[in-house]
């Protein structure tokens, strides 16, 4: 029996399907350094790391997008230590492959998530994986969704499952429904 009327479930990765143990303590400092190098503005500050990157990419273009993608790969590789799967979601995905089509839309780099997906035996269940290196603009920008969206479908057929406001606002900007991972877990329990 289908628990959700949607045909397409779009999952965030970190803190949703799996919690990556990454030391993020130097993230803002390193991103700020990139921003200063790009703009020359030594007074700039970061309120939201995603919006900071989006704004700089929109203003300065593809080269800056690539700087952030390369930084993400390196930063995650150097600061990743372990992961903790959300087995409720992992098992839901494994057990409902005939009920829904699954997509993954994450701000993490593909090199970070691929080994985890493989370990969890989820490497073949997603129709498409949109990761940090697939997009110029991070969530909450809807760019990633439009790489997932199947033109002959209705947006009402999609449900985004995530843990953050970036996920929530990305879903809103994409015109699709959102459910917080905690509420999703409660529905599947």
| Cross-strand bridge partners of residue 82 | 21
Greatest CA separation for the chain? 57
Last residue of a domain, one of 63, 80, 97: 80
Number of domains the chain contains: 2
User: For residue 1, what pLDDT is reported?
Assistant: 63
In which domain, by residue range, is 72 found? 22-80
Q: Which whole number is the average pLDDT over 5-25?
A: 98
At CB < 8 A and 24+ separation, what contacts does 42-45 make?
none
| Domain annotation covers residue 35 | yes
| Domain annotation covers residue 150 | yes
Q: Which whole number is the average pLDDT over 52-72?
A: 98
Q: Are residues 102 and 152 in the same domain?
A: yes
Give pLDDT tens digits for 126-168. Answer: 999 999 999 999 999 999 999 999 999 999 999 999 999 999 9
Residues of the chain with pLDDT > 70: what percent? 99
Give pLDDT tens digits for 95-109. Answer: 999 999 999 999 999
| Domain annotation covers residue 33 | yes
* Whether the predicted pLDDT of 17 surpasses 70: yes
Q: 185: which 2 tokens?
A: 């877990």
| Domain annotation covers residue 3 | no
Q: Which residue has the tokens 């990157």?
A: 53
Q: Are residues 122 and 134 in the same domain?
A: yes
- What is the CATH number for 166? 3.40.50.1000
Local confidence band at 2 (pLDDT 50, 70, 90 cut-offs): confident
Helix (H, G, I), strand (E, B) or coil at 140: coil
């Amino acid at each position: 029996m289908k628990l959700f009327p949607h045909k397409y479930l779009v999952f965030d990765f970190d803190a949703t399907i799996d919690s990556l143990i990454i030391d993020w303590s130097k993230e803002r400092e390193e991103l700020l350094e990139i921003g200063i190098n790009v703009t020359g503005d030594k007074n700039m500050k970061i309120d939201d790391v995603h919006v900071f990157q989006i704004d700089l990419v929109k203003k300065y273009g593809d080269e800056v997008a690539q700087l952030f993608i390369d930084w993400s790969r390196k930063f995650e590789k150097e600061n990743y230590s372990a992961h903790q799967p959300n087995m409720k979601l992992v098992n839901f995905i494994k057990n409902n492959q005939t009920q829904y089509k699954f997509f993954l839309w994450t701000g993490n780099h593909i090199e970070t998530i691929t080994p985890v997906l493989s370990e969890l035996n989820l490497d073949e269940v997603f129709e498409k994986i949109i990761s940090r290196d697939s997009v110029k603009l991070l969530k909450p920008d809807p760019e990633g969704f439009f790489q997932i969206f199947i033109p002959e479908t209705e947006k009402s057929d999609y449900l985004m499952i995530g843990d953050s406001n970036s996920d929530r606002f990305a879903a809103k900007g994409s015109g699709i429904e959102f459910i917080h991972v905690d509420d999703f877990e409660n529905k599947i329990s």
